[in-house]
Amino acid sequence: MSKAKKDEIEFINYAREKNAKYQLLELAIIAGNQPIGMIDLHSIDRDDRRAEVGYWMFSKYQGKGIMTESLKHLLSIAFNELDLNKIIVMADSKNEKSRAIPQRLGFRQEGTLKEEIFMNKQFRDLDVFAITTSEYKIKNS
């Protein structure tokens, strides 16, 4: 079995375990029966009623509002079905498209984590955006 296949199986098993514990909710974004991206709720903390969101999309589908709509749907699930109180998005400070998505939906910037990740041979800052249930309800009433 190839390393890529082993990695894929390992990730699927990891996701199943986290899903079973309600710590991870992963959703594929599909267009024309083809996966074009994904969005997830991870680090779900049932005690503190908070979670983080991660997302990515193939570049040819970016800039069409698809991810904004996907996040909007995920927020509805998080607040209305999972009864979470706070959702956090962390985006690369230099990735304007990724930063714009939570801002469009009423997230506020809570701060910047300096040199938080190492990517493409350099440390990168992450901007932290958040929205609470009460803020979500005001924006969606």
pTM: 0.83
What secondary structure does DSSP assign to 48-101, as a single string? TTEEEEEEEE-GGGTTSSHHHHHHHHHHHIIIIIS--SEEEEEEETT-HHHHHH
When the pLDDT of each residue in the chain is averaged and rounded to a whole number, the result is 89
DSSP 129: E
Query: How many beta carbons lie within 10 A of that of residue 54, not counting itself?
Result: 15
Evaluate if residue 16 carries a pLDDT over 60: no
CATH number of 3-139: 3.40.630.30
DSSP 105: T
* Lowest mean pLDDT segment, chosen from 13-22, 59-68, 99-108: 13-22
Kindly state the percentage of the chain with pLDDT values over 90. 76
Confidence of residue 78 (pLDDT cuts 50, 70, 90): very high
